[in-house]
Amino acid sequence: MKISVFGIGYVGAVTSACLCDTGHTVIAVDKDPVKVQCLNDGRSPIIEKDLDTLIKKYTDSGMLTATLDIKEAVAQSDISLICVGTPSREDGSLDLAYIEDVCQEMGEVIKTKDAYHTVVLRSTMVPGTAMDLCLPILEKASGKKAGKDFGFGNNPEFLRESTAIYDYYNPPKIVVGGIDEKSADMIMGLYEGIEAPRIKTDINVAEGVKYADNAWHAMKVGFANEIGNILSDCGVDSHKVMDIFCMDTKLNISTAYMKPGFAFGGSCLPKDVRAIRAKGKSTGLKTPIFDALLEANENQVTRAFEKIKASGKKHVGMMGLSFKSGTDDLRESPLVTLANQLLDAGFTLSVYDPNVFHASRVECANQNYINNVITHISKNLVETPEQLKEKSEIYVIGNNGEQFSKIIQSIDDTKIPVLDLVRIDPAIESREGYHGICW
């Protein structure tokens, strides 16, 4: 395939050389004449292991060339990868001037080109940038329609500096967001011969994946340092602790707990985060991550409350009160906190949780807590789904109780709002009044 790569920075230089190494012909484009000359001389414009060798090999063979001329590059290629920089502004937002300029100039060339051309965004941009900024510029400048007259998509990179070439050939995943199937297939075709999970998705999701990855990597560094500081001050070898921590691929280094939803609760997580934070503070340490973790958890409860409030409905039917399904444990349940906020704000409440209702009626560990500590909530417990439906104007799904999805599906009026805190079942997501807390 004939490919033009826009931007001979870190991503563009590595991508250009590796594309040549997998059999493609590449024209690299940049407005900086020094970078263009560098590449045409067979030299890498950046320091990266083995990149000089690859660039020299393919400039000598003629498979890799560089130019200042955007028109020439687009005219002589089938697909263009945009790899220009997206630096930070002072307020933390991205400066997209380079992106806007490239899209404008590329659109003007596509306008005059008869052959079908595909534009791929490989620069890191926050979700929505491709569809809300780049696509309108391209369509206006070209006078053509994406998905019909030219291809369009997003293909985030997962390259680490100093191991970028290895990472190119051994990616954790290949993610392609295409405006249509033709665009997605063409982009995915760039990676023939590279073994990795291949994911085709929509463009906004592809953009979001990159940010989820990088934010998580940053969080891991910060978490390891913060827990390490505390452990060190306790006389504990933090590396030994984290070596054991990382051996757990069932819960720790895994998909467990990694789906957006409601706040954490129960007898362990809130208590132990507070305890390890207090231990750090007792030795004079600052614990900004653990501070923020508890604040973020409280914010998720507030988010649910504000969404209920915004519905304008006053009688809330809550499904689930325990902190997770399959238990009657109400210790630090965020659903109890939410119920308290609703009652304090003047909402009326019906709560259907079979496990908690049963515990309130029989002698058990939680009976006293339910009947005597949270009396104001327990008196709103209902025994059956029919009782829940009698007055409810909005339903809140609080945990993954096995009956809850069926209850929602049995409600005839699909306009009644549903706030789902756990994403319980795709079958109810098409309902007119359905809302997820953060999806």
Give per-residue pLDDT as tens, 142-196. Answer: 999 999 999 999 999 999 999 999 999 999 999 999 999 999 999 999 999 999 9
Is residue 276 packed enough to be buried (19+ CB in 10 Å), middle (13-18) or exposed (0-12)?
middle
Ranges 2-11, 26-35, 265-274, 371-380: which has the least confidence:
371-380
Q: What percentage of the chain reaches a pLDDT higher than 70?
A: 99
Greater pLDDT, 391 or 291: 291
pLDDT mean across residues, the chain: 95
For residue 350, the tally of other CB atoms under 10 A from its CB is: 19
Give per-residue pLDDT as tens, 95-105. Answer: 999 999 999 99
Cα separation, 266 vs 128, in Å, equals: 36
If you average pLDDT over residues 38-42, what whole number do you get? Answer: 97
pLDDT at 319 over 90: yes
Cα separation, 164 vs 181, in Å, equals: 29
If you average pLDDT over residues 310-328, what whole number do you get? Answer: 95
Greatest CA span in the chain, whole angstroms? 83
Residue 375 has a pLDDT of 84
Give per-residue pLDDT as tens, 322-367. Answer: 999 998 888 899 999 999 999 999 999 999 999 888 878 777 667 7
Q: Give the phi and the psi of residue 333 in degrees, each rounded to 5.
A: -70, 125
- pTM higher than the cut 0.85: yes
Cα separation, 329 vs 165, in Å, equals: 51
Q: Is the dihedral of CA 282, 283, 288, 294 positive or negative?
A: negative
Residue 299 has a pLDDT of 97
Q: Could you tell me the domains of the chain? A: 2-202 (3.40.50.720), 297-436 (3.40.50.720)
Residues identified as active-site = 268
**Strands 174-178, 151-154: pairing kind:** antiparallel
pLDDT at 27 over 70: yes
CB 156 within 8 A of CB 81: no
Residue 331 has a pLDDT of 86
Residue 365 has a pLDDT of 67
Residue 373 has a pLDDT of 78
Q: Give the phi and the psi of residue 9 in degrees, each rounded to 5.
A: -90, -150
Is residue 71 packed enough to be buried (19+ CB in 10 Å), middle (13-18) or exposed (0-12)?
middle
If you average pLDDT over residues 23-27, what whole number do you get? Answer: 98
pLDDT at 31 over 80: yes
If you average pLDDT over residues 366-375, what whole number do you get? Answer: 79
pLDDT at 221 over 70: yes
If you average pLDDT over residues 94-119, what whole number do you get? Answer: 97
- Residue 17 Cα to chain centre, angstroms: 29
Residue 382 has a pLDDT of 95
Residue 209 has a pLDDT of 97
Give per-residue pLDDT as tens, 56-94. Answer: 999 999 999 999 999 999 999 999 999 999 999 999 999
